[in-house]
Structure 1
Amino acid sequence: MRPELHGAFGAVSATHWLASAAGMAALESGGNAFDAAAAAGFVLQVVEPHMNGLGGEVPILVHEAGSDQVRVICGQGPMPRAATPEAFRSLGVDRIPGSGLLAATVPGAFGAWLRLLEEYGRLPLEQVLEYAIGYASDGYPLFPKIADAIATMAPLFEYEWPESGRTYLVNGAPPKAGTLMRNPALAETFRRVLKEAKAAGPGRERQIRAAHRAFYSGFVAETIDGYLRRAEVLDATGERNRGLLTGDDMARWEPSSEPSVSRVYRGLEVHKPGPWSQGPVFLQQLALLEGFDLAAMGLDSADYLHTVTECAKLAFADREAWYGDPEFAEVPLDDLLDDGYSELRRRLVGDRASGELRPGSPAGRRPWIPAVDHAKPPSGPYWKAQLYSGLPTVISQVAAMTAARGDTCCVAAVDRFGNMVSAGPSGGWLKSSPVLPGLGFSLGTRGQMAWLEEGHPNSLVPGKRPRTTLSPTMVLRDGLPYMAFGTPGGDQQDQWTLGFFLAHVDFGLDLQSATETLAFHSAHVPSSFAPRVHQPLTMRVESRCPESTREDLARRGHDVETVPDWSMGKVCAVGAQPDDGIVVAAASPRGAQAYAVAR
């Protein structure tokens, strides 16, 4: 449907064309791939408010030219120090709600982008932020899905979350698609941060550090602290609750930089964030699939779809049992990626679909997954059911039975110098938490992913990162940058990007063609989002999957559900060919929103 884009100067791919354009503008104004990614990331916070925001989080994978390593900048903020299981239970809460203020973590996205710029960028902060400020101040054309989301949530915004109403409703009514949408409060927040950064004096790095202080211990933190101390906000519990996050929690936090986790597959070195994300599940799937001749099965054949799906179930079951913040819990990652362990797990893949949730026992450890409730959403207006779901996606009532769900944003960039970056901005979306008065953005609700039960790697502990779904990918070949990619999709991210990656590596498709292959995923494993729905044996495929293939999968025991074509995921990718200096860009046509640019 689209061509693979080639250039020699730089390439950017993001889930909104305005972000991709901003990234390329940053490159053309003297920046590098890291400046481009940050510029695009800040624009995404403005033009995709239904999927991410300044109060959200982001993991960033970084490859710097001349290095043979990949670093991870962790923009996943921790839980507040007041967030204990006892604090939630005292409110009558046995699961952290997916909306409101209780699930707020320290907003890590701003700090992570700043650290990327400070350590790897070239441009002044003002130049990187100018595109986002422009769209927030002067307006951007409202995408239909955002307009639909605002229309669905309008009663909540009008009666319960008045600052969200002031931000997203126009004269008290939902704006129409195509409307030029502005967020002057957000623009002013960016401008004030810049003003305080400049007041620190000359010097790019000095100003970036001052911007961090303005956000995490200055006026932004003070506003958040004051609001959460006094506001009682309607959330998924059906009650009005105060938040637990404080300004002190924010002041104590700094984004970390750490080594990536990697594994070699078909001669390529694949890098992911650590087990505080779901990233290693991609590597576990590769470790299982390495023992199968996928090319002989045929792309998108019943054999291929069955094998990939069954391996995904096993890897994601391990995610549920073993992943968590490694600074607080023992995560046996080396054992999970061990060849011998993978061989034992591979033997579980049979001719029939398994209906069991089967985590493994790495090095003899006993797995445990807390019980998943099957509570029903509250009765009443449709927006209440949307509030009950922790996913950012807002689906109109008419389309609720057929629409595919997804979340998050992504951006990837590469430049002519050999720098490459991949990031997955998310959190702080308009549906799940009210806009903060005077700031123009919402807090994230990533805390919903932690368990209140004690003794699990992902159990709630104050100051601990909840295990997130965010999962960008980077690939090196012979120590040089080869490709970087990501997709929206929550739990499905590492299934949809896996299909893209296998189409390229095992079947030889170019990056753009690989984004356009059939999308499918398993819903077998419990969702990471409240209310943690799971559907054993359910496999979703786009409806262009041939009927004969679907029938074959059903005979194997899969409960096959079809969703509309071109509806699952928006894979964005960049690549590099160091031998001839060519850079490559691709973006999935799904949603008619993600675009790539190369020059």
Structure 2
Amino acid sequence: MKHLFSALFLSAASILPLSAQQTQKPVLHGRNWMAITGKPLAATAGAMTFQKGGNAVDAACAMLAATCTMWDTLSWGGETQVLIYNPKTKKVLAINAMGVAPTGATADFFKNKGYNFPPEYGALAATTPGTPGGLIYMLINYGTLSLEQVLAPAMEMAAGYPIEAQAANSMERGKELIKQWPYSKKVFLTHPGEKREAPEAGEIFVQKDLLTTLTKMVAAEKTALKQGKNRKQALMAAYDRFYKGDIAKEFVRGCQEQGGLITMEDLAKWKPIEEEPLTVNYKGIDVYKLQQWTQGPVMLQALNILENFDLKSMGYNSPKYIHTLYQAMNLSFADRDFYYGDPATTPKGPIKGLLSKEYAKQRAGLIQYDKNNPDIGPGNPYPFEGKTNPYLNLLKQRGFDQDTTKRNFAPKHDLGQLNQMPDDLYQDRLWRGTTSIEAADKEGWVVSVTPSGGWLPACIAGETGIGMSQRMQSFVLDSTLNPFNLVAPGKRPRVTLSPSLALKNGRPFLSSAVQGGDTQDQNLLQFFLNVTEFGMNVQQASEAANINTNQLWLSLGGTKTEDRKPKPGQILLNSNTSTATREELKKMGYFLSFSDRTSGPINAIYFDWTHGSLWGGSSNHGEDYGIGW
């Protein structure tokens, strides 16, 4: 492989590593437990659950319930994806609580309505709800407390809590959409007809319908226990009431009334799945991600590519490092955009080939040392698992040639505006949020969650108080974009949601997650490298300046193809990036934009086996907050 860089590069780092700087938030220290999530009140719910004697799974479920009750970034009708380290088996397991496309959700159905992608908002954007089932599954198999105990903080909040400015202002900004949905209007616009119709920050926000729904679930559990049922059977009674009982009937009625497709059969047939996570080893550290129905393998592919280079010698955020990182991410995202999709349906993606070290070495060899390559497309991983690629014709239709020496054009589907900076709407879609949850305890349980769906402005399903998911928009309707992620009833969309776990010497090393749409695995990759290559502690690494690439297909937002197209060469840098680094990157064909905070809202836990303690990190990017003991 060619030597990657020439002496023309400047060697000085663009930003002083945070290992030499004071962080804006303190690192958290704990001996017994750690609870971190995207909202301070929800972190308190996790702490309350630990104080009840719950383990990290119980606490994660309590934080999940609380964040769903606080709207803004997710609701109860959304989806949950989880990695858990089980200290009893000493293994990492994955829980897939992603909803599926409902009956009638076909490519032709949406195309006939004039869409290039399923819609962003409303009942037609909804997959079946996954979070309630995922939460109950976690409790049954790995938790210790009852549903009543775990939901207690969320139920108290549903009865009325002082709403924070971020959610209240989101309701106000989205009120024109909200007014189209009668059940959402009733919940969110508490001052109808006034200049400000949404709640004010600090106002006691009451959700009577949601409280009724949660009360029904707890009542089902309590009734089962009174009838002599065991803990698992009681929790399943709550599950069945949500997915098969009166809650399900009202959810379906409210969904269909507003034009949605979800049926009672769709809810009854759906189940959370426990699956084997995917993993690669990076310099002695085993990194785990969910399967390719998420974008998680992007980080694994990028690590495999970057393992071919001496990143530490380049220097943190030097031009060499930024360029190498950007190119590795572009190569990985090009594969994501074509090959990732629900592995429980056919066709199944070539994940073995995509994660092979040999394939990564081949991809690394495509990196040009002196300039950005705007024409990077999907590779051909099939030979690396002993198969022939059945989609070479699709790749040619899309405008890619496997002989990269002949490629001197931008692929027709991927031709972006190379000299146009991202607008606010594009950036919103790139970063479109969720939340993240991190929990760990002294028994060794570790939980990393990236739940989402049902964010504001949310369409509420009938009198349930539950906002429906908007995840249908992550499907494609055109197989030339991605034959593995073509919408179909019963199929899970390929989502951006991507928790991380890493083990070193067989023991937990790092647990991390972040919100932010297509930037999630970009920021988690750099967080991991900040710790492993540049010696930052978990808080320093969570605040450190990252870069983001826009050279990818957006997973969220917009119903037209042009809304989602990659923007080759566009890069987000920290505002403190030096003039010399900026100029060097411009020479390599990059189009620069800047932000004061570029870490992403990372939440993470580091396991200090030397001292027997937990270190928590929660970035200074947003409202994320942690509590340790």
Same fold (TM over 0.5): yes
1:122 equivalenced with 2:122 (yes/no)? no
* Corresponding position of 1:438: 463
CA-CA distance at 1:201 after TM superposition: 2.2
- Report the residue type matching 1:576 in the other structure: F
| Corresponding position of 1:542 | 574
Deviation at 1:321, TM superposition (A): 1.1
Q: State the one-letter code of the partner of 1:470.
A: L
The equivalent of 1:597 in structure 2 is 627
Indicate how the Cα distance of structure 1 residues 533 and 184 shifts in structure 2: closer, same or farther if over 3 A, else same: farther
Q: Distance in 2 between matches of 1:133 and 1:227?
A: 22
Task: Give 2:62's match in structure 1, choosing from 23, 39, 44.
Answer: 39
Per the alignment, residue 474 of structure 1 pairs with 501
Structure 2 counterpart of 1:153: 174
Please state how far the C-alpha of 1:52 moved relative to its aligned partner.
0.6
Matches within 5 A, 1:17-166: 17-47=40-70, 49-142=71-164, 144-158=165-179, 160-166=180-186
SS state at 1:6 partner: strand
In structure 2, distance between residues paired with 1:92 and 1:533: 18
Is 1:420 matched up with 2:439?
no
Aligned partner of 1:286 in structure 2 is 303
Unaligned runs of 5+ in 1: 232-241, 377-384, 395-403
| SS of corresponding position for 2:123 | coil
Which residue of structure 2 lines up, in the alignment, with residue 243 of structure 1?
A: 260
Residue in 1 that maps onto 2:477? 452
Deviations 1:55-92, CA, capped at 9 Å, x for gaps: 00010101111323211110111111321223223434
Report the more deviating stretch, 95-104 or 336-345: 95-104
Q: Deviations over 1:363-392 (max 9, x none)?
A: 35246476759999xxxxxxxx99xx799x
Q: CA deviation at 1:405?
A: 3.6
1:362 to 2:381 alignment = yes
Paired AA for residue 183 in structure 1: Q
Inter-partner Cα distance in structure 2 for 1:346 and 1:390: 29
Name the residue aligned to 1:183: 207
Does the residue aligned with 1:286 lie in a helix, a strand or coil? helix
Segment drifting more, 318-327 vs 167-176: 167-176
Distance 2:123 2:581 in 1: 45
Q: Per-residue displacement from partner, 1:322-373 (whole Å, max 9, x unpaired)?
A: 1011121221111111111111100111121111141101135246476759
Q: Does 1:586 align with 2:586?
A: no
- Which residue of 2 is the match for residue 199 of structure 1? 223
Q: Which amino acid aligns with 1:39?
A: A
Q: Distance in 2 between matches of 1:103 and 1:373?
A: 25
Alignment deviations for residues 273-331 of structure 1 (CA, whole Å, 9 cap, x no partner): 00011111110000011011111111111111111111000000000111011121221
Q: Counterpart of 1:324 in structure 2: which amino acid?
A: G
- Alignment check: 8 A CA contact 2:573 2:592 kept: yes
* Residue identity matched to 2:321: Y
Any idea what the Cα deviations from partners look like across 1:390-436, whole Å, max 9, x if unmatched? 99x69xxxxxxxxx8431100011100011010001001122x4122
SS state of the match for residue 201, structure 1? helix
Letter in 2 for 1:571: I
Summarize the Cα distance change of 1:390–1:442 in structure 2 as closer, same or farther, 3 Å threshold: farther
Residue 476 of structure 1 aligns to a residue whose secondary structure is strand
Q: Structure 1 CA distance, aligned partners of 2:494 and 2:101?
A: 11
Alignment of structure 1 residues 146-545 onto 2, 5 Å? 146-158=167-179, 160-172=180-192, 173-202=197-226, 203-231=230-258, 242-328=259-345, 329-350=347-368, 351-364=370-383, 365=389, 366=391, 368=394, 405-431=431-457, 433-454=458-479, 456-531=483-558, 532-545=564-577
State the partner residue of 2:592. 560
CA root-mean-square deviation: 2.2
Q: Tell me whether 362-371 or 63-72 shows the greater mean CA deviation.
A: 362-371
Q: Which letter maps to 1:544?
A: N
> Does the 8 Å CA contact 1:539/1:561 hold for their aligned counterparts?
yes
Confirm or deny: 8 A CA contact 1:475 1:482 kept in the other structure: yes
How big is each residue's C-alpha offset from its partner over 1:225-283, in whole Å with a ceiling of 9 and x where there is no partner? Answer: 2123333xxxxxxxxxx211111100011101011000011211100000011111110
Contact 1:405 1:568 survives alignment (8 Å): no
**Which whole-Å deviations, capped at 9, do the CAs of 1:97-148 have from their partners, x for residues lacking one?**
1111222111111111111110000111101000111111121332x32232
Alignment partners' CA distance in 1, 2:280 and 2:618: 25
For 1:461 and 1:373, locate their aligned partners in 2 and report how far apart those are by CA, in whole Å: 24
Distance 2:414 2:314 in 1: 38
Helix, strand or coil at the partner of 2:73: coil
Q: CA deviation at 1:548?
A: 2.2
Q: Partner letter of residue 127 of structure 1?
A: Q
What is the TM-score with the length of structure 2 in the denominator?
0.86
Give how far 1:522 is off. 0.1
Letter in 2 for 1:185: D
In the alignment, the residues of structure 1 paired with residue 276 and residue 354 of structure 2 have an alpha-carbon distance, to the nearest angstrom, of 18
Change over 3 Å in CA distance of 1:114–1:390 after alignment to 2: farther
Q: Is the 8 A contact 1:224 1:246 kept in 2?
A: no
Query: SS where residue 199 of structure 2 aligns?
Result: coil
- How far has the Cα of 1:171 moved from its partner? 1.8
Structure 2: distance between partners of 1:499 and 1:390: 22
Mean CA deviation greater in 498-507 or 88-97: 88-97
Q: TM-score, normalised by structure 1?
A: 0.90
Which structure 2 segments of 5+ residues have no match? 1-23, 384-388, 399-411, 418-422, 559-563
Larger CA Rg, structure 1 vs 2: 2
Counterpart code for 1:156: L
Name the aligned partner's letter for residue 240 of structure 2: R
**CA shift for structure 1 position 484:** 0.8
Aligned-partner Cα distance in 1 for 2:415–2:252 = 34
- Quote the residue 1:570 is aligned against: 601
Q: Note closer, same or farther for the CA distance 1:220–1:533 as it changes in structure 2 (3 Å cut).
A: farther
User: In the alignment, which residue of structure 2 is the partner of 1:401?
Assistant: none
C-alpha distance in 1 between matches for 2:476 and 2:136? 30
Aligned to 1:237: none
- Post-superposition Cα deviations, 1:181-240, rounded to whole Å, max 9, x if no partner, equal 222221221111111221122532222101110111112210122123333xxxxxxxxx
Between the aligned partners of 1:189 and 1:68, the Cα distance in structure 2 is 37
Letter in 2 for 1:320: D
Who is 2:10 aligned against? none
* Deviation (angstroms), 1:454: 4.1
Cα displacement string for residues 474-507 of structure 1 (whole angstroms, at most 9, x for unaligned residues)? 0111111122110001110000111111000101
TM-superposed CA distance for 1:577, in Å, is 2.7
AA of the residue aligned to 1:174: A
1:533 is displaced (CA, Å) by 4.1
Q: Mean Cα displacement is larger for which, 144-153 or 204-213?
A: 144-153
Q: Tell me the distance in 1 between the aligned counterparts of 2:205 and 2:415.
A: 38
Distance 1:492 1:484 in 2: 18
Instruction: Judge conservation of contact 1:414–1:575 (CA < 8 Å) in 2.
Output: no
- Measure the CA separation in 2 of the matches of 1:66 and 1:441: 35
Contact 2:330–2:376 under 8 Å retained in 1: yes
How far apart are the structure 2 equivalents of 1:41 and 1:314?
33
Give the number of equivalent residue pairs: 563
